Amino acid sequence: MNQQLEETINSFMNAIQIKPSGIMIWISLAVALLFAAILWVTYRLSNTKQSYQPKFAATLVALAIISTILMDLIQTNIALSLGMIGSLSIVRFRTNIRDPRDIGFIFWSMAIGIASATQSYLIGCIGSVVLAVVMFMTKNTGTENQHLLLVVRGSNTDLDQIQKIVGYHTNSNLVKAKNILADSFELVYEVEIPETNSNKVIETIFELGGIDSVNLLAQNAW
């Protein structure tokens, strides 16, 4: 009975341990690179110059290749796959996602690796085309609101005029800090502003005169 059970287990393990040939590995990597190129072009064209992140785009391409390599490794050994799952479960990523669509690009990149490593090229091709269309339909046009910190420093300037300018060019604003000294001041606003208005608000505030600096900062950079 024990011998029969052992033979059954060995047969099962041999069945699930698929060992791709060297040619198939090279083909899967080449296909992954091709699909990753489609992903990169989609990401580049569906973002404005302000929202496009070159390092993130390069990471997406690398993630597709890495996913392919990991899937090729997992297919060769079931014990290795279980160990890898346990290892990856302790990894914590704390990078802030600026655009919710970036999560979709990350999962798209991972799906490319899985489809390429399992030779599901048709699924990968159709999925990439569909996702590219979806991303273009929801592309960043530059009119999306940004949640930023506006810091204004200067002297001898009407603060009420600054408030009017900020209110006109932003969808919402909140005074986070107001420091007024004898010969200078500093105002910190939390603003919700379209990308197209970011330069306008800075230029208009400088036109008042008596302004030393105007800075727009990401809130996590303050």
222 — pLDDT class (breaks 50, 70, 90) = very low
Q: What is the separation of C-alpha 20 from the centre of its chain, rounded to a whole number of angstroms?
A: 32
State the Cα–Cα distance between residues 81 and 221, nearest whole angstrom.
39
95 — pLDDT class (breaks 50, 70, 90) = low
Note whether 104 and 166 are same-domain residues.
no
Note whether 175 and 110 are same-domain residues.
no
pLDDT of residue 132: 92
Note whether 24 and 109 are same-domain residues.
yes
**What is the arithmetic mean of pLDDT over 212-218?**
84
State the Cα–Cα distance between residues 218 and 153, nearest whole angstrom.
17
176 — pLDDT class (breaks 50, 70, 90) = confident
State the Cα–Cα distance between residues 82 and 49, nearest whole angstrom.
42
pLDDT of residue 221: 47
**What is the arithmetic mean of pLDDT over 47-68?**
86
pLDDT of residue 9: 53
Note whether 81 and 154 are same-domain residues.
no
Domain that holds residue 104: 2-91+98-137
Q: pLDDT tens digits for 40-51?
A: 999 998 887 767
Q: Is 178 helix (H, G, I), strand (E, B) or coil?
A: strand
Note whether 176 and 132 are same-domain residues.
no
| Range of weakest confidence among 76-90, 92-106, 150-164 | 76-90
Q: pLDDT tens digits for 128-171?
A: 999 999 998 887 665 566 778 888 998 877 888 888 888 888 87
- Number of separate domains in the chain: 2
How does the average pLDDT of the chain come out, rounded?
A: 79
Which two tokens mark 194? 């379209």
Note whether 21 and 75 are same-domain residues.
yes
pLDDT of residue 35: 94
pLDDT of residue 141: 61
The yes-or-no verdict on residue 3 having pLDDT over 80 is no
State the Cα–Cα distance between residues 201 and 84, nearest whole angstrom.
50
| Range of weakest confidence among 11-15, 158-162, 177-181, 183-187 | 11-15
| Region for residue 211 given its phi and psi (left: phi exceeds 0; alpha: psi -120 to 50; beta: otherwise) | beta
**What is the arithmetic mean of pLDDT over 214-218?**
82
Q: What is the pTM of this model?
A: 0.60
Note whether 66 and 132 are same-domain residues.
yes
Q: CA nearest 128: which of 114, 145, 149, 141? A: 114
The yes-or-no verdict on residue 108 having pLDDT over 90 is yes
CA of 114: how far to CAs of 8, 65, 73, 120, 122, in Å?
29, 10, 12, 8, 12
| Range of weakest confidence among 20-24, 41-45, 85-89, 166-170 | 85-89
Note whether 131 and 151 are same-domain residues.
no
Which two tokens mark 9? 């287990």
Q: Is 46 helix (H, G, I), strand (E, B) or coil?
A: coil
Share of the chain above pLDDT 90, in %: 18
State the Cα–Cα distance between residues 204 and 170, nearest whole angstrom.
13
The yes-or-no verdict on residue 39 having pLDDT over 80 is yes
Note whether 68 and 164 are same-domain residues.
no
